[in-house]
Amino acid sequence: MKDSADQIRPENVFDDELDLTGVDLSMHSGRAWIDAISGIGDAHGFAEPLGKRHHAVFVEDGDTLLVTFESMPGISSYSQTATPLGWEMQAIEGWSNLSVICTADTWFRDREVVDFFDQLLDDGFFDEFEKVIFYGAGPCGYAAAAYSVTAPGARVVLLQPQATLDPRIAEWDDRFPEMRRVDFTSRFGYAPDMLDAAQAAYVLYDPQERMDAMHAALFARPNVTRFRLPYMGDALQGDLLEMDLVHPILDAAADDRLDVAEMSRLMRARRNHPPYLRRLLSRIDAEDRPLLAEWVCSNVTARLNAPRFRRRLDALRAEAEGRDG
């Protein structure tokens, strides 16, 4: 670790206007990708290895800082340019970005990550920014909540986060048996408690995903708003990225206007998102509600080119005629 904030943030490296829009790291993988992204961090802020499984890359621009927790597989899957999500926000909003990246799902519980955030806290790193937003999804959402306590007054956006994997609290979550021996009780351990210092936190989840809903319930706090997004499934981040909603959600959170009305307005994009529509129709069919299914199929086919819904609509109407006949 660096010894001071001055060392963490070198002077005179931002003389040229920062623009990451043209950066494409998709030709790199593994160690070469780490070296490439670290080079950009060194040129525009800092880059620091955090043990063998984590890396921190900071790029400085505006006085709003977005702290993103991401995984290398996730970045490779969701970004055509293999760059962190926060770099898109730099390009669009001019925000600074601290990307904390793991090589695989680790829940960021390694000692080096804890020490890194303790160092940032001691150095007053987050005090230099007017606004700080923490963001993460799933295991990365856990980390975003857990480490947000180092920046009191931060806004925190979490997509289907885990609260803890301590089996004494979350023994009902059997999805990650390999994490049962990992320490979730020491510093920055129980994510919901770490949100007490946040200006506001937002938890997005599908209530029909039982484990996600149970974790979301553990985040109930006066400063936490939980948004129920039914039929969005268990890969929420991917769907929100496909609908181009992550940017406006983060922007609304930064401006303290991410309320129920704003989320409802944003989520109208689901009406044109085929995966959501398919999940909705499957649930209606499972409940054996043919009239409602017909209404949904009729609405979708009137607005979209949706052969699957057209075939289902024809079948429903034929069944209805058969019953009437």
CA-CA-CA-CA dihedral for 204, 208, 209, 210, to nearest 10: 110
Separation CA 225–CA 207 (nearest Å): 14
| Per-residue pLDDT, 16 | 52
| Per-residue pLDDT, 27 | 85
Q: Please identify every stretch of the chain with a pLDDT value under 70, giving residue numbers as ranges.
A: 1-17, 322-325
Predicted structure pTM score: 0.89
Separation CA 130–CA 120 (nearest Å): 16
Question: For residue 97, what are the β-bridge partners?
Answer: 59, 66
pLDDT digits (tens, 9 = 90+) for 132-152: 999 999 999 999 999 999 999
| Per-residue pLDDT, 28 | 82
pLDDT digits (tens, 9 = 90+) for 10-52: 333 334 567 777 788 888 888 998 998 999 889 889 999 999 9
Question: For residue 159, what are the β-bridge partners?
Answer: 137, 204
